């Protein structure tokens, strides 16, 4: 006999899924700010290509943080907020000084790797909770960040 599944509702969303969503929100937001900083301050012979790439990245991240935050709210929970909380929870260095293009890219690779780890934790938790909608968000973010890491690493070679 096939077990009948109970539909998941916002009221029954596991708190760990919300916690992982908020973690992904924090690291994604902090990465967006770092990427915007790099976009404003990059210099050198690769200025044009990096300036455009960083803009595409922070625009993608802006859309992503909104989607992640709205998923938290759809699960009948609240998002974390505040720049200091995002920075503290992100788990990577905040960019605060202009540096070389190469150093910007290297720092962004580290940050993207952390976001991938946060998204993977969310993917696993939402899968265990049978929350396919949240899992879909996490998988999409992993795919985008892994492609971005590949491209940034290729620049460093």
Which residues, 6+ apart, have CB-to-CB distance to 142 below 8 Å? 116, 119, 120, 123
Q: Which region, left, alpha or beta, applies to residue 92 given φ > 0 means left and ψ of -120 to 50 means alpha? A: beta
Residue 14's pLDDT is 80
Q: Kindly report the pTM of this predicted structure.
A: 0.91
Q: What angle do CA 141, 89, 9 make, to 5 degrees?
A: 55
Separation between Cα atoms, residue 157 and residue 153, nearest integer Å: 7
CATH topology of domain 14-156: Ferritin (1.20.1260)
Please report where in the chains the tokens 């760990």 appear, as a residue.
Answer: 16
| 79-127 pLDDT, tens digit each | 999 999 999 999 999 999 999 999 999 999 999 999 999 999 999 999 9
| 9 has a pLDDT exceeding 90 | no
HSE, side-chain direction, 13 A CA sphere, residue 123: 14
Instruction: Extract the tokens encoding 77.
Output: 């929970």
DSSP state of 8: P
């Amino acid at each position: 006999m096939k077990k009948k599944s109970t539909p998941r509702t916002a009221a029954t969303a596991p708190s760990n899924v919300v916690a992982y969503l908020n973690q992904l929100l924090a690291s994604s937001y902090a990465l967006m700010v770092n990427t915007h900083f790099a976009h404003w301050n990059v210099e050198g012979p690769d200025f044009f290509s990096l300036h455009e790439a960083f803009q595409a990245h922070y625009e993608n991240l802006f859309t992503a943080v909104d989607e992640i935050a709205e998923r938290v709210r759809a699960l009948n929970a609240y998002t974390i907020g505040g720049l200091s909380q995002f920075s503290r929870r992100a788990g990577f260095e905040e960019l605060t000084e202009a540096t070389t293009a190469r150093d910007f890219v290297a720092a962004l690779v580290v940050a993207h790797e952390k976001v991938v780890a946060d998204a993977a934790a969310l993917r696993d938790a939402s899968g265990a909770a049978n929350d396919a909608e949240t899992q879909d968000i996490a998988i999409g973010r992993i795919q985008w960040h892994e492609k971005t890491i590949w491209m940034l690493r290729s620049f460093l070679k």
